[in-house]
A and B are shown apart, each in its own frame.
Chain A
Amino acid sequence: MPWNLNSDSPIFVQIIEHLKIDIVSGKYKPGDKLPSVRDLAAEAGVNPNTMQKALSDLESTGLVHSERTSGRYITEDDNMIKNLRKSLVDVQIEKFFKSMEKLGFTGEEILELVKQYAEK
């Protein structure tokens, strides 16, 4: 099943997002070996060069590192994954708050609504 990609942003950016979520959600655990570029590209249903570009980008952030011959691995640095999770959380919360503010709620009201929702 190919990954769901939307139409407005570059494909490699969306691949990066997708892989980050896979790392945070634990699909790939710290120290895990990633599938080959070709296999990942086939799984995602994307161009192998685009997948390569996304992986190189992840490498430059340190989330993924490559061993010369054996392939690419997820970082074992727990702090880095924690930070990644936090940054993804921030993104989601920011999105949520923005759309709630559009509906005319203030910060306090939103917090109260979230609390009520969680208790339901």
Chain B
Amino acid sequence: MNNLLEIQGLSKTYGSVTALNDVSLSIEPGHIIGLLGPNGSGKTTLIKIICGLLQANSGTVLVDGNPAGTADSRAAISYLPDQTYLDGNMTIKAIVEMFKYFYEDFEEDRAMEMISSLNLNPNAKLKTLSKGNQEKVQLMLVMSRRAKLYILDEPIAGVDPAARDYILRTIISNYEPTASMIIATHLISEVEPVLDEAIFLQNGSIKLFKPIDDIRAEEGMSVDELFREVYRC
């Protein structure tokens, strides 16, 4: 089993609405992949199924050879949700302790280094931080793990450009070549240089899955421009 992620025939419906329609894809180690698509195209649904937070109607998902939702598959994934998921009454220090307690691959030194580079007070309660800083704390936690598959859902939405640069730099400098990363976003131009492959999702189906530089060479335009063309209203 070489693939970090192996998805076969995955479908998910909410009542009569189809969120994912027969999605199959495999991801090898060593890539940063953009999961791109307009709102409602199924990005977050796909991610939640991979993490075991949602149950699919049909199809299989294997993470590092283990079915989604099992202890081993969850241990392999470091997931950043598209919303705050931390208990606001906890301090930064307490949440770092929690991650250290539960995740064997969590590197406390790395986390503390990022906290000090962000000038955050480890004893501050999470609810006292600005939204941007809360997002940075969550990213710090996620990137301090030595996971096999990182899944970041909209990591740069809703933060200012300086914070975006910081987040993208953090992603690049903490990334290990034996791991892979999926970044779901609709802010393509900001993230594009960081990616090496792109998946276009449309109405729950994969429309395109290609290396970024192949897209640029073949289409003579950036992925962002291609995206605007494909999804033109």
On whether A and B touch (CB less than 8 Å), the answer reads: yes
Query: What 3 A-B pairs come out closest when comparing CB atoms?
Result: A7-B222, A10-B213, A42-B173
**30 A–B contact pairs at CB < 8 A?**
A2-B168, A2-B193, A7-B189, A8-B220, A9-B217, A10-B212, A10-B216, A10-B217, A11-B193, A11-B212, A38-B172, A38-B173, A42-B169, A42-B172, A42-B173, A44-B193, A45-B172, A45-B193, A46-B172, A46-B193, A46-B194, A47-B172, A48-B172, A48-B177, A49-B31, A49-B32, A49-B177, A50-B196, A50-B212, A50-B213
Q: When each residue 60-79 of chain B gets 1 if its CB lies under 8 Å from chain A and 0 otherwise, what string results?
A: 00000000000000000000
Residues of B138-180 whose CB lies within 8 A of A: 165, 168-169, 172-173, 175, 177
* Neighbouring B residues of A42 by C-beta, 8 Å: 169, 172-173
Residues of B192-221 whose CB lies within 8 A of A: 192-196, 212-213, 216-217, 220-221
Asked whether A97 is an interface residue with its Cβ less than 8 Å from the other chain, the reply is no
Docked CA distance A5–B189 (Å): 11
Q: Is the CB of B168 within 8 A of A49?
A: no
Docked CA distance A13–B211 (Å): 14
Interface size class for chain B? Answer: 20 to 34
Interface centre among A12, A39, A49 (most CB of B within 10 A): A49
Asked whether A41 is an interface residue with its Cβ less than 8 Å from the other chain, the reply is yes
Question: What is the minimal beta-carbon distance from B206 to any residue of chain A, in angstroms?
Answer: 21
Q: Is the CB of B213 within 8 A of A11?
A: yes
Q: Is the CB of A45 within 8 A of B168?
A: yes
Closest-by-CB residue of A relative to B212 is A11
- Known contacts A8-B221, A10-B213, A47 near B195 by CB under 8 Å: yes
Q: Is the CB of A7 within 8 A of B224?
A: yes
Chain A count of residues within 8 A CB distance of the other chain = 22
Asked whether B122 is an interface residue with its Cβ less than 8 Å from the other chain, the reply is no
Closest-by-CB residue of B relative to A6 is B222
* Neighbouring A residues of B177 by C-beta, 8 Å: 48-49
Q: When each residue 44-60 of chain A gets 1 if its CB lies under 8 Å from chain B and 0 otherwise, what string results?
A: 11111110010000000
* Neighbouring B residues of A1 by C-beta, 8 Å: 165
- Known contacts A9-B216, A10-B216, A49 near B172 by CB under 8 Å: no
Q: Is the CB of B196 within 8 A of A49?
A: yes
- Known contacts A7-B225, A47-B193, A49-B196, A12 near B213 by CB under 8 Å: yes
Given A41-B172, A45-B193, 20 other A-B residues pairs in contact with their CB atoms under 8 A: A2-B165, A5-B193, A7-B221, A7-B222, A7-B224, A7-B225, A8-B220, A9-B216, A10-B212, A12-B213, A13-B213, A38-B175, A45-B169, A45-B172, A45-B194, A46-B194, A47-B196, A49-B32, A49-B177, A50-B193
Residues of B6-49 whose CB lies within 8 A of A: 30-32
* Neighbouring A residues of B194 by C-beta, 8 Å: 45-47
Q: Is the CB of B193 within 8 A of A8?
A: no
Q: Is the CB of B30 within 8 A of A49?
A: yes
Closest-by-CB residue of B relative to A38 is B173
